[in-house]
């Protein structure tokens, strides 16, 4: 099986879906002539042309809004937010239009739109450009929120998002673009809303996704050297949230750590922990611990920024805290 | 306009007037919940604009949408059933007053966030351009919406991408209770099109004959040359919504505009030009009233949505 980067996996998914379905097109800032600010759509403009790879003005609300309208009319747009921080300017179109229109009109209209957004901190971009606000979007029924942690999942989940009839926010972590993994040549999808055991273990359950999946896998390797076998569950999708693999794992290990890159308050850790307590209180051997970003606007200085972001060692220590 | 078409539009305007009066009563009886924004006074705009379209042309509007729904071909009973939150409503009771739509009529709603449907309209028009059809999208909105960023982004995009969209501003001169003089940098909405190099026109929105003529010309432009902004100057006789104390305007001002009533103007026009007799118009108006009576009965007798549908239509279906 070929080993490719996350960037290549996402690019392949887009390319293959555009080849497969004429209704699929891309719109966003610098997606065309520039080739994508993260080079995900490099070569697309020349191959598919300006009608299907549409450079837009800098107007996020209207990028997503036009994508929503085109989706209502039967196309399958992929709207790119250059970074998820700019998606705040499109908040109304994402959570109040895309997420509501199917239900609000009694099922008459569908919004088969995919909104790709790049998020995450750790690149010294300062507070406004470094958000990991995934959980905010996951609050809204009607929207699906997906964030892959491996190239395999990125390609399969993106294809599922494009082929599905619901609006999907597809969140990519910029620091993962160079992450490598095996991706088959043949066509496949990864269904949205299915959590996945990424590493088997018996001593503790680490629940995570996206960038923190890679961080957690590294922590698990360090722990293994000390004889601690962590089971790592990748949520992959925040809405719908598939808790079954988490609960199954927890009933086996009786201990859990939840690792996310965003802030702790009102976060995924809180949601997952409560769901574990609700479903498996009798299996709890230690209070669940959360690993998350320090509660500050992310600073520019490299050392301060890394101090604020959750690290491998934070996961290791949290695991030891529940053992 | 053919005579039959003029009589059809006269009836449609009367039907909307009676519908909105009935809705006001039902609201006061507590049978309609939420917000209720009436179209009374603006009938010539919706009926004049929408009647100029071809069936393939899409219509999308803001939250003052009952009249546009009727103009797009929705039955009064379906509008009223939605107002009462019934399962037989156009949105199965999940949308309410501000969220009426019928895709089979090419009527795409009914959108309640001011300005938010302008990008949606751009997207609808983009789809038609993408599919190389000759359809146009007609997007109606109020003067208040022209002060929000969405308006300017959508104007700009429609020009840059040469989208087949007709922007229709129903300038009723108030955004809720704030007059256009207090909210807009320019007194005429059409002036805002100049900044985008977009052709535009301003028409008397109380005169359906003028509105229809202006829309036909505008649509002709849209089909061959891209976006156009049509401003229709109109007036709403009732408050912004049912809970409006109307401290922002005088009784005299409302009375002045009521003398300029769009149905009255059209009535005089039809009689003066011998397109209809008084008896014919009276019969049409009476018929509208009895249609609404029947529609109210239908809506009141319709069932509420079953509790089981609470979770339906949140998502379409899972993939894989």
Minimum-distance CB partner of B113 among A66, A92, A142: A92
DSSP string, A244-279: HHHHHHHHHH--EEEEEEEESTT-HHHHHHHHHHHH
Helix, strand, coil share (%) of chain B residues, nearest 5: 50, 10, 40
Å between B207 CA and nearest CA of chain A: 31
Residue boundaries of the structural domains of chain A:
3-182, 196-322
CB pair distance less than 8 Å for B127 and A70: yes
Minimum-distance CB partner of B99 among A77, A104, A160: A104
CB pair distance less than 8 Å for A62 and B92: no
- What residues of chain B lie within 8 A of the CB of A112, using their CB? 316
Question: Which residues, including other chains, have CB under 8 Å from residue A56's CB and lie 6 or more apart?
Answer: A27, A28, A29, A31, A62, A63, A66, B157
Range A23-32 average pLDDT: 97
Mean pLDDT of chain A: 98
To 10 degrees, what angle do helices B278-301 and B3-28 make?
40
Tell me what percent of the residues of chain A surpass a pLDDT of 90: 100
Range A270-293 average pLDDT: 98
pLDDT in tens, B132-148: 999 999 999 999 999 99
Is B123 within a domain? yes
How much is the pLDDT for B113?
Answer: 97
- What residues of chain B lie within 8 A of the CB of A71, using their CB? 123
Is B157 within a domain? yes
- What residues of chain B lie within 8 A of the CB of A70, using their CB? 123-124, 126-127, 130
CA-to-CA separations, A17 to A8, A188, B81, B318, in angstroms, rounded: 14, 11, 42, 18
Is B306 within a domain? no
- What residues of chain B lie within 8 A of the CB of A142, using their CB? 314-315
Minimum-distance CB partner of B317 among A65, A96, A165: A165
CB pair distance less than 8 Å for B90 and A73: no
CB pair distance less than 8 Å for B315 and A193: no
**Sign of the dihedral defined by the CA atoms of residues B165, B170, B171, B176, in that order:** negative
DSSP 8-state code for residue B303: P
pLDDT in tens, A80-118: 999 999 999 999 999 999 999 999 999 999 999 999 999
DSSP 8-state code for residue B102: B
Tell me what percent of the residues of chain A surpass a pLDDT of 70: 100
For B174, the enclosing helix (H) or strand (E) is strand B174-175
Range A146-152 average pLDDT: 98
Residue with tokens 């003005």: A57
Furthest-apart CA atoms within chain B: distance in Å: 66
Is B44 within a domain? yes
| Residue B69 in contact with partner chain A when CB distance is under 8 A | no
In which domain, by residue range, is B196 found? 3-298
How much is the pLDDT for B22?
Answer: 98
| Residue A299 in contact with partner chain B when CB distance is under 8 A | no
Å between B177 CA and nearest CA of chain A: 24
How much is the pLDDT for B317?
Answer: 77
Per the DSSP assignment, residues forming a β-bridge with A262 are none
- Name the superfamily (CATH) of residues A3-182: Thiamin diphosphate (ThDP)-binding fold, Pyr/PP domains (3.40.50.970)
- What residues of chain B lie within 8 A of the CB of A104, using their CB? 91, 94-95, 99
A-chain residue closest to B56, CA distance? A73
Fold of A196-322: Rossmann fold (3.40.50)
CA angle (A64 as vertex; A41, B46 as ends), nearest 5: 140
Is B305 within a domain? no
Q: Interface pTM (ipTM) of the complex? A: 0.96
- What residues of chain B lie within 8 A of the CB of A66, using their CB? 119-120, 122-123, 126, 157
CATH number at residue B25: 3.40.50.970
Å between B286 CA and nearest CA of chain A: 32
What backbone phi and psi angles, to 5 degrees, belong to B247? -80, -10
CB pair distance less than 8 Å for A68 and B113: no
Å between B264 CA and nearest CA of chain A: 34
How much is the pLDDT for B319?
Answer: 43
How much is the pLDDT for B243?
Answer: 87
How much is the pLDDT for B117?
Answer: 98
| B98-122 residues labelled b (16+ CB within 10 A) or e (exposed) | bbbbbbebbbbbbbbbbbbbbbbbb
> How many domains does chain B contain in total?
1
A-chain residue closest to B154, CA distance? A62
A-chain residue closest to B158, CA distance? A66
Q: Give catalytic residue positions of A.
A: 60, 129
User: Which strands form A76-81's sheet, in the order they lie side by side?
Assistant: A53-55, A24-28, A76-81, A114-119, A168-173, A144-146, A237-239
Q: Two tokens at B280?
A: 């014919």
Per the DSSP assignment, residues forming a β-bridge with B137 are B58, B165
Q: What number of C-beta contacts closer than 8 Å exist between A and B?
A: 149
Measure the N-to-C terminal CA separation of chain A; round to a whole number of Å. 38
How much is the pLDDT for B302?
Answer: 98
- Residues (pLDDT < 50) of chain B are 318-320
């Amino acid at each position: 099986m070929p080993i490719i980067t996350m960037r290549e996996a996402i690019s392949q998914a887009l390319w293959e879906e555009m080849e497969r379905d004429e209704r699929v097109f891309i719109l966003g800032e610098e997606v065309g002539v520039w080739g994508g600010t993260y080079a995900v759509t490099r070569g697309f403009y020349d191959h598919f042309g300006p009608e299907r790879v549409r450079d837009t003005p800098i107007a996020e609300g209207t990028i997503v809004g036009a994508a929503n309208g085109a989706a209502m009319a039967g196309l399958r747009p992929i709207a790119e937010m250059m970074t998820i921080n700019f998606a705040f300017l499109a908040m109304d179109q994402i959570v109040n239009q895309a997420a509501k229109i199917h239900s609000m009109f009694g099922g008459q209209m569908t919004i088969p739109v995919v909104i790709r957004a790049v998020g995450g901190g750790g690149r010294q971009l300062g507070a406004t450009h470094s958000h990991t606000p995934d959980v905010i979007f996951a609050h809204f029924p009607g929207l699906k929120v997906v964030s892959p942690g491996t190239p395999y999942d990125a390609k399969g989940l993106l294809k599922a998002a494009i082929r599905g009839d619901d609006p999907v926010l597809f969140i990519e972590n910029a620091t993962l673009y160079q992450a490598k993994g095996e991706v088959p040549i043949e066509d496949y999808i990864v269904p949205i809303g299915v959590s996945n055991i990424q590493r088997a273990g018996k001593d503790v359950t680490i629940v995570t996704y996206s960038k923190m999946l890679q961080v957690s896998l590294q922590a698990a390797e360090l722990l293994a050297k000390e004889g601690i076998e962590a089971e790592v569950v990748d949520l992959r999708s925040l809405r719908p949230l598939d808790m079954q693999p988490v609960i199954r794992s927890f009933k086996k290990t009786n201990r859990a750590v939840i690792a996310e890159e965003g802030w702790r308050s009102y976060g995924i850790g809180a949601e997952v922990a409560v769901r574990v307590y609700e479903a498996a209180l009798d299996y709890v051997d230690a209070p669940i611990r959360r690993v998350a970003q320090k509660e500050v606007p992310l600073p520019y200085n490299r050392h301060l920024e890394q101090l604020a972001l959750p690290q491998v060692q934070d996961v290791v220590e949290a695991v030891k805290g529940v053992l | 306009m053919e005579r039959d078409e003029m009589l059809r539009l006269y009836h449609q305007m009367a039907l909307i007037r009676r519908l909105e009066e009935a809705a006001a009563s039902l609201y006061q009886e507590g049978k309609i919940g939420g917000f209720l924004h009436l179209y009374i006074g603006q009938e010539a705009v919706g009926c004049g604009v929408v009647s100029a379209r071809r069936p393939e042309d899409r219509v999308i509007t803001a939250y003052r949408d009952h009249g546009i729904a009727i103009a797009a071909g929705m039955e009064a009973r379906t509008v009223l059933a939605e107002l009462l939150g019934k399962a037989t409503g156009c949105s199965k009771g999940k949308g309410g007053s501000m969220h009426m739509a019928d895709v089979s009529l090419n009527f795409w709603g009914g959108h309640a966030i001011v300005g938010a449907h302008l990008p949606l309209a751009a997207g609808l028009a983009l789809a038609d351009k993408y599919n190389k059809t000759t359809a146009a999208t007609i997007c109606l909105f109020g003067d208040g919406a022209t002060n929000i960023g969405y308006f300017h982004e959508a104007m700009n995009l429609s020009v840059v991408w040469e989208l087949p969209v007709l922007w229709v501003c129903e300038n009723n001169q108030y955004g809720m209770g704030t007059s256009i003089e207090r909210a807009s940098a320019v007194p005429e909405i059409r002036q805002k099109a100049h900044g985008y190099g977009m052709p535009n026109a301003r028409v008397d929105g109380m005169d359906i004959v003028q509105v229809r003529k202006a829309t036909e010309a505008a649509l002709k432009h849209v089909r061959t040359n891209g976006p156009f902004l049509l401003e229709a100057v109109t007036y709403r006789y009732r408050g912004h919504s049912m809970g409006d104390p109307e401290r922002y305007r005088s009784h005299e001002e409302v009375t002045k505009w009521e003398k300029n009533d769009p149905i009255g103007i059209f009535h005089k026009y039809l009689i003066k030009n011998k397109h209809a007799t008084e008896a014919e118009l009276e019969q049409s108006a009476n018929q509208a009233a009895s249609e609404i009576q029947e529609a109210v009965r239908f809506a009141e007798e319709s069932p509420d949505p079953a509790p089981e549908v609470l979770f339906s239509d949140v998502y379409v279906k899972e993939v894989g």
